[in-house]
A = this chain, B = another copy of it.
């Protein structure tokens, strides 16, 4: 079949010690080396950073969210403006999700992190939101616009159509993202419906394929290992280009890694594997060892907005620049990084900017955190090449 003829995922090296691997993921907008990190530009913008500032920080690939963009400014507008790449000025590889994640996570009346319990593994803050999910049917999902309150509908076919309008290289099937609190029966039924939706996505995608996009299937099944196994086996039978692990991955990191290990055992491991919404540094190390090729998370820029800077080899891998101990600190965040945010300003200055509520402070931290995640991924790739991931992890993660 001619699906994905402009895409390729080539595994160039496999670790002897784990399932960690190096790869090259080729798209119409260029190649990326894997493992890699995909930065969230939810509303067609990485928070307060230009695309060239992302490049300056070593970024290879970004994503945007279909749910937000279908509401503002709408897929038609972006298509008319020449697609998301041109619209936002990013010329590299790009991914969009299907909208399903936000429809369900925001829709169930909770912050996405709370809902899927990724807060437990990612250390994020819970935020309660107004419910916006109206009805789930076999056909699709009715929900309210976060912006206007108007009733909207999203189905596998519509999710494919909008993502084609947006024009990202890597796109996601429409699925239901199930939460930790949902019981096994609901999770099973929901997963089976997501599988049927996945089938419909493939059919619709194939019918309208323009050669510019590659489709990922999403593995659900919550915390239930037999369901996760079933999802992994299902995905392996389906002509997806890549796989992604979604939904609740448990309350503890042990549970998360067990699920991740099981999925990668039964899925088609010749395909690229994306871990949805995960960006904690220990999770990156653990999942790289379990065969994950790409990650995404809002954490680098979100941490920045709270005054946090990612640092290698300090407890928690972050420092808070609001802390008075940085008042007279003349050192930069990281003198070895070339981007100006990491190397040009003293911690004292950034502390002052935060104390003064000057936006440049969080802008500086945002670019720095992006640069640090890219540094992490470069070092992870080098460590896989040299088969010394354990040593690298000890450099990054200390107590």
Chain B residues whose CB sits within 8 angstroms of the CB of A349 once the complex forms: 44, 81, 87-89
> Closest approach, in angstroms, between the C-beta of A360 and any C-beta of chain B?
5
Number of interface residues of A (CB under 8 A): 39
If A87-B349, A345-B89 touch, does A81 touch B330 (CB 8 Å cutoff)? yes
Chain B residues whose CB sits within 8 angstroms of the CB of A49 once the complex forms: 360
Residue from the list B80, B346, B348, B355 in contact with A328, Cβ < 8 A? B80
Question: Is A359 within 8 A of B52, CB to CB?
Answer: no
Question: Is B87 within 8 A of A45, CB to CB?
Answer: no
Measured between alpha carbons, how far is A90 from B213 in the docked complex, in Å? 44
Measured between alpha carbons, how far is A47 from B359 in the docked complex, in Å? 7
> Closest approach, in angstroms, between the C-beta of A184 and any C-beta of chain B?
38
Interface residues of A in 48-94 (CB under 8 A from B): 48-50, 52, 68, 72-73, 77, 80-81, 87-89
If A87-B349, A89-B344, A353-B45 touch, does A73 touch B359 (CB 8 Å cutoff)? no
Check A352 for interface membership: any CB of B closer than 8 A.
yes
Binding site for B on A (CB under 8 A): 43-50, 52, 68, 72-73, 77, 80-81, 87-89, 327-328, 330, 340-341, 344-346, 348-349, 351-353, 355-356, 358-361, 363-364
15 pairs, A vs B, C-beta closer than 8 Å? A45-B353, A45-B358, A47-B360, A48-B48, A49-B360, A50-B341, A50-B364, A73-B355, A81-B348, A81-B349, A87-B346, A87-B349, A89-B340, A89-B344, A89-B349
User: Assuming A45-B356, A47-B360, what are 19 further A-B pairs, CB within 8 angstroms?
Assistant: A43-B356, A44-B356, A44-B358, A45-B360, A48-B48, A48-B358, A48-B359, A48-B363, A49-B360, A50-B341, A50-B360, A72-B356, A73-B327, A73-B355, A81-B348, A87-B349, A87-B352, A88-B349, A89-B340
